[in-house]
Amino acid sequence: MRRLLSDSGWTLGLAGLLAALLVMTKLIQPDFGVSGLDSLGRAALPFALATLGMAVVVIAGGIDLSLASMMAVCSVTAARMMEGASDGQSALALIFVLALGAAMGALNGALVVASRVPDIVVTLAMLFVWQGTALLILNAPGGAAAPWLRALGVGGLTLPLIPEALTVWLPRSVIFLMVCLAVIWLPIRRSPLGLRFYAIGSDALAAFRSGVPVGRTKIAAYAVTGLFAALGGIAVTMSTGIGEPIPGPYLLAAVAAVVLGGVVLGGGRGGLIGPILAVFVLRLVRMDLTLMSVDPNVTTIVEGAIMVVVVMLGGVLAMRGRRT
Partner 1 sequence: MSATLTPVTRLTRLLAQNPLIPLILLLAGLVLVLEIMQPGILSVFWIGNTIKVAIPLAMLAACQTLTMLTGGIDLSAGTVATITAFVMATLAPLLGVPEAVAIALACALLAGAVNGFGIAICRVHPLIMSLGTGLIANGCLLVYQRYVIATGTLIPDALVWLGTGRTWGIPNGLVLFIPFAALIIWGQRRTGFGRLLYAVGSNEGAARLSGVRSWQVLLALYTLSGLIAGLTGLILIGLVKTPSLSLALRLDLPSVAAAVVGGTSIFGGRGGYGGTIVGALILTVLTTMLTLLHMPEGARGILFGLIILAVTALYIRLTEKG
**Looking at beta carbons only, is 37 or 107 nearer to partner 1?**
107
**Looking at beta carbons only, is 207 or 251 nearer to partner 1?**
251
Contacts of 207 (CB under 8 A, 6+ apart): 196, 199, 200, 214, 217
Using CB under 8 A, which of 12, 99, 162, 312 touches partner 1? 312
Site for partner 1 in 264-283 (CB under 8 A): 265-266
Cβ atoms < 10 Å from Cβ of 167? 13
Q: Would you count residue 295 as binding partner 1 (CB under 8 A)?
A: yes
Q: What single-letter amino acid sits at 284?
A: L
Task: Work out how close the CB of 141 gets to partner 1 at its nearest, in angstroms, rounded to a whole number.
Answer: 14
Using CB under 8 A, which of 19, 34, 99, 308 touches partner 1? 308
Q: What backbone phi and psi angles, to 5 degrees, belong to 308?
A: -65, -45
Written as one string, the DSSP assignment of 160-211 is TTS-HHHHTTSBHHHHHHHHHIIIIIHHHHHSHHHHHHHHHHH-HHHHHHTT
For residues 137 and 77, the answer to whether their CB atoms sit within 8 Å is yes
Q: Would you count residue 122 as binding partner 1 (CB under 8 A)?
A: yes
**Looking at beta carbons only, is 184 or 260 nearer to partner 1?**
260
Using CB under 8 A, which of 50, 97, 134, 184 touches partner 1? 134
Q: What backbone phi and psi angles, to 5 degrees, belong to 249?
A: -80, 35
Q: Which stretch binds partner 1 (CB under 8 A): 31-39, 115-123, 208-216, 275-283?
A: 115-123
Contacts of 298 (CB under 8 A, 6+ apart): 289
Q: What residue ranges bind partner 1 (CB under 8 A)? A: 111, 115-118, 120-122, 124-137, 139, 252, 255-256, 259, 265-266, 295, 297-305, 307-308, 311-312, 315-316, 318-319
